[in-house]
Amino acid sequence: MFQYPTNLTVVSKISREIVYSNNFEAIKPIRGIQMDLAANDLMVYFPKETISIANLKGEDQDAWKYYLKKGIVKKALANCRTPKQKAYVSGIYAEQLFSGGRYELAAQYYARSHFSFETVTLKFLSKSLEMWLKVYLEQVLKLYASNNPQHAPQRLLLCTWIVELKLSEINQLNLNFKNQVNSGA
């Protein structure tokens, strides 16, 4: 907080940006200020018993944007308040993880992200990452409530695809084993 004779300016502790500024030129000068931490109100006192109250609630409501801008994605995710914000930041984090080759964690965050199912599955398939695609499908399956009959078709298709991927993995292991046996004999 910065108090001047006719002006009061409050700077965010998180972003270091001005969150409140008011010019009291007509009432001047400011005699004092008091912060009510319980109500998050700022009270400004003037010479003729005039009191002005400024509510500073929600100072941290956009903290996730600040952290995201600074590249601190995990902290941005922790400061998200709405599901839409969490989905957006999860998508950005998933992209970072995928680019860094951390596919399992990327699959988990993609499942909670704003990216479409098709976009994510094609991303894994285009790089032949079926093992991590399976992780993604399992995470999406967890999001569909098993007690909701409307989700039954989606759950059935996801389960079918997961089983197909697991059978393909077993077949590949079987083929590798046969090749080792044949080359060793």
**DSSP states along 7-27:** EEEEE-TTT-SEEEEEE-TTT
Q: What is the pTM of this model?
A: 0.66
* Chosen domain end from 32, 55, 78: 55
Q: Which of 24-33, 72-81, 98-107, 144-153 has the highest mean pLDDT?
A: 98-107
My answer on whether 83 and 35 are in the same domain is: no
Examine residue 77 and state whether it is found in any structural domain, yes or no: yes
Residue 138 domain boundaries: 61-148
My answer on whether 106 and 67 are in the same domain is: yes
Examine residue 81 and state whether it is found in any structural domain, yes or no: yes
CA dihedral 21, 27, 28, 33 (to 10 degrees): -60
> Cis link prior to 29 (omega < 30° from 0)?
yes
Residue 16 has pLDDT above 60, yes or no: yes
Q: What is the pLDDT of residues 104-160, one digit of tens each?
A: 999 999 999 999 999 999 999 999 999 999 999 999 999 887 778 888 888 899 999
My answer on whether 109 and 68 are in the same domain is: yes
| Average of per-residue pLDDT across 51-69 | 70
Q: CB–CB of 42/20 below 8 Å?
A: yes
- Give me the percent of the chain exceeding a pLDDT of 90: 40
My answer on whether 79 and 95 are in the same domain is: yes
**Is the Cα dihedral 124, 82, 80, 138 positive or negative?**
negative
Residue 138 bridge partners (DSSP): none
